[in-house]
Structure 1
Amino acid sequence: MDKAIKLVLIILLFLCLLQMPFGFYQFVRFAAFVGFGLLALLQRDGGNKNAAFIYGALALLFQPFFKVVLGRELWIIVDVVVALGLALSLINAFRSKANSPNRN
């Protein structure tokens, strides 16, 4: 489930680089808040407290209730960095699964 959440978030964050209607960015903030919150819970339950903290902090950054004003240029940088970080974690998850000795 976490791989699907990460993939959806990557796509949404890269779509933010395009000129989209304001409502799309509001939707992305809400979706990212929910997605990063779920990822934080999944990581906490899996025992990875560092990743849970990072995903929790990202959920707070993207939360739609109290707007974090960074400006368009800085949000673009944040979106790209976060999307690339998610992509790297997704690649690492696939690599570790492919290299695991117990794969079916």
Structure 2
Amino acid sequence: MKNSGTIIKITLAVFLFLCLLKMPYGFYEFVRFLSLIGFGLLAYKAKEENKNSEMIIFTSLALLFQPFFKIALGRELWNIVDVIVGIGLILSSGRLFFTKRNN
């Protein structure tokens, strides 16, 4: 499944952007679990493709968002992190949207 990484990235970006809205606390916990799993899968995929820089980035993001030992940044700073990571995910999956396809 070649585009599975892109699907994971777009899904995570959407959920991170939804975190900017006022949501119940359970939603944020769900996003943390989803992010841990999603970034973990992206790190694994990057490792398989020998993309060590991407592997380190995705592993770091999995650790940042993991729900077990929470990093208290405050709502405003988490919003900034969510936006930066969401934009980064969209840009890194941009090859799917901006490349020409040969028919």
TM-score for the superposition, normalised by structure 2: 0.91
CA shift for structure 1 position 94 = 3.7
* Cα RMSD after superposing both structures: 1.3
Letter in 1 for 2:67: P
CA shift for structure 1 position 33 = 0.5
Q: Does 1:15 align with 2:35?
A: no
Q: How many residues align?
A: 100
2:56 to 53, 68, 78: 53
Matches within 5 A, 1:1-104: 1-96=4-99, 98=100, 103-104=102-103
String of CA shifts for 1:46-99, please: whole Å, max 9, x gaps: 110000000000000000000110000000000000000001001134435x36
Structure with greater helix share of residues: 1
Give unmatched runs, 5+ long, in structure 2. Answer: none
CA distance in 1, matches of 2:95, 2:61: 20
Identity %: 52
Give unmatched runs, 5+ long, in structure 1. Answer: none
Runs of 4+ in 1 over 2 A off after TM superposition: 92-96
TM-score for the superposition, normalised by structure 1: 0.91
